[in-house]
Amino acid sequence: MSHEHLQADCIFCKIIRGEIPSFKITETDKSYAFLDINPLSEGHALIIPKYHAEYFHQVPDDVLADMLPLAKKVALAIGLEGNQYNLLQNNGRMAHQEVFHVHFHIIPKPDTEKGLKIGWPQMKVSKEDLEKTYNRIKID
Ligand code: AMP
């Protein structure tokens, strides 16, 4: 993939172009994997598209289709003991996005203190409300 879809002033586009150093794990024609510079646990890695998009839903399907197999390869290379890890992708400031170039995190969870800490504020909803939501969202 040429660099025509990259942006001049994006930090992750600069990493792809080699203008900023990174601990590259591997890359394909369409995606790039490297170590997170401020890891939540040892091995914390990022998978990014070689296509500048701020949000997940803006990435072309062929690029997305390249990213997940690469994420799987990287997960296996990290050596995720006991299969304890999170695959995370944040969209928007409120959803904890800090770098506005799409990225998947692979975050090992070696113990309760390291890795991702998750709040899981489940709502109580009625069957009617669930049905309303379902009717709004269902595609087929
Ligand atoms: P997010 O909160 O999902 O936007 O995560 C952005 C991630 O990018 C953070 O975990 C940062 O530590 C990481 N990060 C920012 N700059 C760099 C960099 N130059 N090299 C590697 N990781 C970076």
Q: Mind listing the pLDDT tens digit for each residue in 9-18?
A: 999 999 999 9
38 lines ligand 1 (CB under 6 A): yes
Judge contact between 23 and 43, C-beta under 8 A. Answer: no
With 0.75 as the threshold, say if the pTM is over it.
Answer: yes
Ligand 1 pocket mutation pick from 96, 99, 117 by most atoms within 8 angstroms of CB: 99
- Which residues, 6 or more positions from 111, have their beta carbon under 8 angstroms from its beta carbon? none
Burial of 2 from C-beta contacts in 10 A (0-12 / 13-18 / 19+): exposed
Three-class SS of residue 64? helix
37 lines ligand 1 (CB under 6 A): yes
Predicted confidence (pLDDT) at residue 98 exceeds the cutoff of 90: yes
What pLDDT does 107 receive? 98
Atom of ligand 1 nearest to the CA of 34: 21
Q: In the annotation, is 103 catalytic? A: yes
Predicted confidence (pLDDT) at residue 3 exceeds the cutoff of 90: no
Mean local confidence (pLDDT), 84-110: 98
Atom of ligand 1 nearest to the CA of 44: 10
What pLDDT does 124 receive? 98
Tokens of 31: 């995606």
Band (pLDDT 50/70/90 cuts) for residue 97 is very high
What pLDDT does 111 receive? 95
Mean local confidence (pLDDT), 111-122: 96
One of 3.50.50.60, 2.40.30.10, 3.90.1150.10, 3.30.428.10 is the CATH number of 3-137, namely 3.30.428.10
Mean local confidence (pLDDT), 115-139: 98
Mean local confidence (pLDDT), 55-70: 98
Hey, where are the domains in the chain?
3-137
